[in-house]
Structure 1
Amino acid sequence: MTLKIGFVGLGMMGLPMLDNLARGGDDFDILAYDRDPARLDRLAAHPAWNRTLRPAADLRALAACDVVITMLPDSTITNAVIEGEDGLAAVMRAGSVLLDMGSSNPAETLRLAPRLRAVGVTLIDAPVSGAVAKAAAGTLAIMVGADAAGLERVRPVLSRMGASLIHTGAVGSAHAMKALNNYVYAAGLLAASEALLIAQRMDLDLDVFTDVLNASSGRNVATETKLRQFVVPGTYNGGFALALMAKDLRTADALQALAGVSATQLSLCTALWQRAREALPAGADNTEIHRYLERLNAPAPA
């Protein structure tokens, strides 16, 4: 039986995810929606366009879908799509699934789940890790907050977009783990950028220093995939916005109060990334945290 899927949000991650979802046969019938019509225009060359992949004029057009995926930047936008006038909560049919694949605030996920359940819609949180390159390759890691039956129901959909599905527990758990994961990544990139700046000021060979980090106990995903590729050459185009990283850190920081835990380094990291977001141009890449540190440490004018 053909599964009817709605996909909302065709940004840097959503577009390649949808591209993979729409490939591989006629078992999915997909309606794509974005409030920016130009993003829908990019799909016109897709081999499934106007066959098993078509545009949706508005959210109401998704009313007959079995599964609706949202891939949106934050909870404010996601909540508006779900709870706004003619939003998904009002138009989705009983028995359908809303799959939130953005990096939403877990507190909002926990608030929305019972509201949607009351109208017969199951909310599953399934945020992703792997950035644009893995979204394009269909090899994302996807965390899934759902009961066992819910996971199996959406597994065929998620498997088109990701190579690794991790069942994190009940609804809301995946968004919490994604935020905490991004904190650990951001802390690693921040530490690596600070160390790189010190090495640079000491006239050390940065390529050799990167080799040392990656062969030693300082190795992390930032040293392996960001330093030599984007930071040392100064291209700063790693494919994930610094503003989104700052947002994810604010989400992780808020979990301190929810959990009753004081995490000093998390608070410091969140504050520094927030200052970087305010100081750097809109659209800055997350690897530009290094550029921000350089500015902070610029020599005083003579």
Structure 2
Amino acid sequence: MTDAVTFIGLGTMGQPMVRNLARSVPVAVYDAAPEAIAVAARNEGVTALASLNDGVGASVVVLMLPNSKVVERVLGDPGDPESFAGRLRPGTLVIDMGSSAPRVTQQLAERLREREVGMVDAPVSGGPRKAATAELTIMAGGPVDAYEQALPLLRAMGTSVTHVGPAGSAHALKALNNLLSAIGLVGALEVLSAGAKFGLDPRTMLDVINRSTGRNQSTEVKIGPEVLDGRFQVGFSLPLTVKDITTALDLSTSLDLSPEVSQACVRFCQAALADLDGENPDQSEIARYMAKTTGVDLTRR
């Protein structure tokens, strides 16, 4: 186990992850929002960093940031001695646990390797609820030695940790997983809407589907409480969903594939995001947009 960790990014996922990580190792935290730092620092074993650059001395730096652009902005150019990345000591390990673009991760890992700084991409699945209970599913990419160094820390935050390949591979798998999840959600909502318009009760349909071959994570976990009950609080935002599934689609098309189902799902989710009111709609609010396009409101039944 490492002796010090800097954790950057204290959003919906970062806060509970820090709380669990601090039970195993001292953690120093930073976020662009001072109030987020203050909340995290209330936990035992967590200290606040006055500035980002105060975190460069840690043996491990964990990033829980929204996307590659933010990662690049925070780390800066590894070749610039004035940047955060340029000031990291040789032997430091960077763990990017956000949903970054796999190609960008590959390039960043190579730049850091030139400075003898290791990198593991370790995105997570499970949402805020699993983050709170340290039951996240974590996929990790990078050299085996860097993965083994990161493993005790990752196990403090998740119950399933899998090394999936070289740098960038975990970010690729995370994006593809989220695309498959979105396909399952959109497909299930479309099927329930068709059944409801025919005259079937959506709750009865959902109950039968969840004991049949059509079930998926959305039918089992999301749609009942979040759509039919009208809570719309999956805990993962639609903007982040669109970002991740677009990343996955871009990866597929860059490999000269023609993923027609994926393309249709991404187009639908993009249209839903453009149509919905509010700055940060929940992923489950895709159902609100589908109600507009089909005339079938599953929530009201």
- Residue-by-residue CA offset, 1:261-299 (whole Å, 9 max, x unaligned): 111111111111111111112211111111110112238
The equivalent of 1:110 in structure 2 is 106
Spell out the pairing of 1:129-208 with structure 2 (5 A cutoff).
129-208=125-204
The equivalent of 2:18 in structure 1 is 18
What is the rounded CA distance, in whole Å, between the counterparts of 1:130 and 1:123 in structure 2? 23
Shift of 1:87: 3.9
Shift of 1:224: 0.5
What is the rounded CA distance, in whole Å, between the counterparts of 2:253 and 2:119 in structure 1? 24
Cα pair 1:138 1:161 within 8 Å, conserved:
yes
Cα pair 1:102 1:128 within 8 Å, conserved:
yes
Spell out the pairing of 1:63-82 with structure 2 (5 A cutoff).
63-82=56-75
Amino acid at match of 2:295: A
The equivalent of 1:6 in structure 2 is 6
Shift of 1:220: 0.6
What is the rounded CA distance, in whole Å, between the counterparts of 1:93 and 1:30 in structure 2? 18
The equivalent of 1:282 in structure 2 is 279
What is the rounded CA distance, in whole Å, between the counterparts of 2:244 and 2:190 in structure 1? 21
Is 1:60 matched with 2:53?
Answer: yes
Residue 3 of structure 1: SS of its match in structure 2?
coil
> Relative to structure 2, which stretch is displaced further, 262-271 or 125-134?
262-271
Residue 45 of structure 1: SS of its match in structure 2?
coil
- Residue-by-residue CA offset, 1:238-283 (whole Å, 9 max, x unaligned): 1100110000011001112332211111111111111111111221
The equivalent of 2:299 in structure 1 is none
Amino acid at match of 1:252: A
What is the rounded CA distance, in whole Å, between the counterparts of 1:243 and 1:92 in structure 2? 32
Residue 62 of structure 2: SS of its match in structure 1?
strand
The equivalent of 1:244 in structure 2 is 240
- Residue-by-residue CA offset, 1:121-178 (whole Å, 9 max, x unaligned): 1111000000000000000000000222111111111010000001101010000011
| Identity between Structure 1 and Structure 2 (%) | 39
TM-score norm. by structure 1 comes to 0.93
Shift of 1:214: 0.6
Shift of 1:201: 2.3
Q: 2:33 aligns with which of 31, 36, 43?
A: 36
Q: 1:230 aligns with which of 226, 233, 257?
A: 226
Q: Which runs of 5+ in 2 are unaligned?
A: 297-301
What is the rounded CA distance, in whole Å, between the counterparts of 1:43 and 1:60 in structure 2? 18
Cα pair 1:2 1:29 within 8 Å, conserved:
no
- Residue-by-residue CA offset, 1:43-96 (whole Å, 9 max, x unaligned): 2432x1xxx321112221112111100001111111111116854312211110
What is the rounded CA distance, in whole Å, between the counterparts of 1:44 and 1:174 in structure 2? 29
What is the rounded CA distance, in whole Å, between the counterparts of 1:58 and 1:218 in structure 2? 50
Residue 156 of structure 2: SS of its match in structure 1?
coil
What is the rounded CA distance, in whole Å, between the counterparts of 1:148 and 1:96 in structure 2? 15
The equivalent of 1:94 in structure 2 is 90
- Residue-by-residue CA offset, 1:204-260 (whole Å, 9 max, x unaligned): 222211111111111111111011121111111111001100000110011123322
Cα pair 1:231 1:287 within 8 Å, conserved:
yes
Cα pair 2:20 2:156 within 8 Å, conserved:
yes
Residue 99 of structure 1: SS of its match in structure 2?
strand
Residue 210 of structure 1: SS of its match in structure 2?
helix
Q: Which runs of 5+ in 1 are unaligned?
A: none
Amino acid at match of 1:283: N
Runs of 4+ in 1 over 6 A off after TM superposition: none
TM-score norm. by structure 2 comes to 0.93
Residue 4 of structure 2: SS of its match in structure 1?
strand
Cα pair 1:32 1:55 within 8 Å, conserved:
yes
**Cα RMSD after superposing both structures:** 1.5
Shift of 1:119: 1.5
